[in-house]
Amino acid sequence: MDQEAILRIKDQLQERKSELLRLIKEQQEEMGVIQSTRSPDWLDLTTATENIHLLMTLGDNERRELDDIEIALGKIDDGTYGECEACGRKIKSARLEALMTARLCKKCKDEEEATLKPTSPDYNIGWRAIEQDPTLLAGAGEEEQDE
């Protein structure tokens, strides 16, 4: 990847970082407003709690993305941007253009994902499969009895 492309990616990463910091600040302010609003109504309290939980989840996702951006910017600064952390080979430019925070080449990422996939057949049954064939749940709640 040439230096011009890396500088373009750096600008995009810094722009996204600024956007994420703004969003996180807004979410923190919104959580403060929700927490400061005390209502005796249990329904209002439940809704407020759910809203805070949602904001915290969104904030966690944005913080993870922010961490990835910080790592990528650090790699740009130290000259290691675009090197696979697992094998050391260069990550293809097309992958970096699509996912600017990529830390692994496609081959290493595929290997990592293959090791993380659950192998138990129970995990491979998705809700869509159950919706299409409800008999997959047949006996799920029944306990085995000794004869």
Model pLDDT, residue 143: 47
d(CA 103, CA 67): 12
- The predicted-structure confidence for 48-98, as pLDDT tens digits, reads as follows 667 666 666 666 778 888 889 999 999 999 999 999 999 999 999 999 999
Domain ranges of the chain: 3-136
Model pLDDT, residue 108: 94
Let me know: does 17 contact 101? Beta carbons within 8 Å: no
CATH topology of domain 3-136: Four Helix Bundle (Hemerythrin (Met), subunit A) (1.20.120)
Determine the average pLDDT of the residues in 4-27. Answer: 90
Of the given ranges (4-13, 97-106, 112-121, 128-137), which has the lowest mean pLDDT?
Answer: 128-137
Q: Is the pTM for the entire model greater than 0.75? A: no
Task: Provide the β-strand partners of residue 83.
Answer: 90
d(CA 109, CA 92): 13
